[in-house]
Structure 1
Amino acid sequence: MRQNLARRAALVDAAIEVLARDGARGLTFRAVDTEADVPKGTASNYFANRDDLLNQAGRRIYERLRPDDATMEAISGGPATRERVAELVRDVLVRVTSFRTGYLALLELRLEATRRPALRALLTERVSEDVAANVSGHLASGLPGDADAVRMIYLAANWLVVERLTLPDVFPPDEAAELITALVERLLPPDGQG
């Protein structure tokens, strides 16, 4: 397998675009080569097989979705209030939906994971780590709410992302923001009470 890391990353990014546009069935080495604008046969020199390409795409999506250090620092600041939690969830919604193709590709990968044990294991590990990090970060920050509330917010926010990316007129941005505020207010105790 070839080792040019920049070329490999470009090919995996192209695979993400193909997944988002054409679905898992449309993900072929030839489609990736075309999307990356490289000579035919390039992707097959970098990936052992289609499963390898799918797994690499799954890893890369999470690399690109991970907030940078400045964003992480901004997240950890601010008052420990319900409004701050709602603000953070709204920020996540904006950040994730701004990488539209990545999240759509991730949805394709999740469906494909029902048929591919290695991909299922990769995504299960990655999502489990994300949930655990969200819970521990929330609890360590002193924000209101317990672990169950954080997990429920995580689940609701993820489905809201799906709605915003696939059927954006169901919950337009202003309504989505209001729903996040209502969700947080119903799940978390009032400020100063927990």
Structure 2
Amino acid sequence: MRQNPARRAALLDAAVTLLAERGSAALSYRNLDEAAALPVGTAANYFRTRADLLLEVTRHVLNRLGPDPQTLAAALKHPQPTRHAAVLQHLLDRMQRERDATLALLELRLLARRHPDLQDAFRTTVQDNLTLSRQFSETHGFTQGDDEFLMGYLLLSGFVFEELTLPGLLPPHLGTRLLRTLTAPPANQPG
């Protein structure tokens, strides 16, 4: 297995672009080599099987969509009533800015659904990411328990799905309004 980090990164970034633009059927070694502008046969030297490639691409996508440490630190400095909204706004902005990575993740989800041999590995990777997000949320007092966290997660996931697959369908700035509503204190609790 080859270990040139720059080539591996180029292959993974090319895989993200291929998934986002052309779907999982286009993710062949030959297309990947061409998209990464690398010699034919390079991708096969880095990923022994398609399953290995897909699992690495999944990890790469989740890493690209993860919070930027500096921006996250700045968001955590907001006063408590707006802190949760600031963190979620950063994540929403990142998913929209990393459009290819977000679309690639949707494509990977569909692929894992169709291929049970990939589903367990994909589920474990996404579950680990979800667990870290839940722990972060609870540590910072953003949500109270699994139900509240999962409702927010599903609400944002649905919004991002609509926004990326049918751009312009939803009103402008709906994401920001959605986050404010999601993070507003209950009516009987002071902000």
> Which category describes the TM-score, using the shorter chain as reference length?
0.7 to 0.9
Stretches of structure 2 lacking an aligned partner (at least 5 in a row): none
Between 103-112 and 146-155, the greater mean CA deviation after superposition? 146-155
**1:139/1:147 contact within 8 Å kept:** no
- Cα deviation for residue 157 of structure 1 reads 0.2
- Cα deviation for residue 144 of structure 1 reads 5.9
Quote the Cα distance in structure 2 between the aligned partners of 1:127 and 1:5. 23
Pairing 1:99-118 to 2, within 5 Å after superposition:
99-118=98-117
- Cα deviation for residue 95 of structure 1 reads 0.9
- Cα deviation for residue 99 of structure 1 reads 0.5
2:97 aligned partner, one-letter code: S
1:122 aligned partner, one-letter code: A
Deviations 1:92-140 (A, max 9, x none): 1111111111111111110111133453223322322233223222222
Does 1:15 find its partner at 2:12?
Answer: no
- Cα deviation for residue 146 of structure 1 reads 4.0
1:135 aligned partner, one-letter code: R
2:135 aligned partner, one-letter code: S
Identity among equivalent positions (%) equals 39
Provide runs of 4+ in structure 1 moved above 4 Å.
190-194
State the partner residue of 2:162.
Answer: 163
Aligned residues: 191
State the partner residue of 2:78.
Answer: 78
Does 1:134 find its partner at 2:133?
Answer: yes
Pairing 1:3-82 to 2, within 5 Å after superposition:
3-81=3-81
Question: Which has the higher relative contact order, 1 or 2, with Cα contacts under 8 A spaced 6 or more apart?
Answer: 1
Quote the Cα distance in structure 2 between the aligned partners of 1:62 and 1:86. 21
Structure 1 pair 134–46 and aligned structure 2 pair: CA distance change class (3 A): closer
- Cα deviation for residue 74 of structure 1 reads 2.4
- Cα deviation for residue 54 of structure 1 reads 1.3
1:89 aligned partner, one-letter code: L
- Cα deviation for residue 165 of structure 1 reads 0.9
TM-score, normalised relative to structure 1: 0.86
Quote the Cα distance in structure 1 between the aligned partners of 2:112 and 2:84. 31
Quote the Cα distance in structure 2 between the aligned partners of 1:184 and 1:108. 29
RMSD between superposed Cα atoms in Å: 2.2
**2:33/2:40 contact within 8 Å kept:** yes
Quote the Cα distance in structure 2 between the aligned partners of 1:136 and 1:87. 18
Quote the Cα distance in structure 1 between the aligned partners of 2:67 and 2:188. 27
Stretches of structure 1 lacking an aligned partner (at least 5 in a row): none
**2:47/2:53 contact within 8 Å kept:** yes
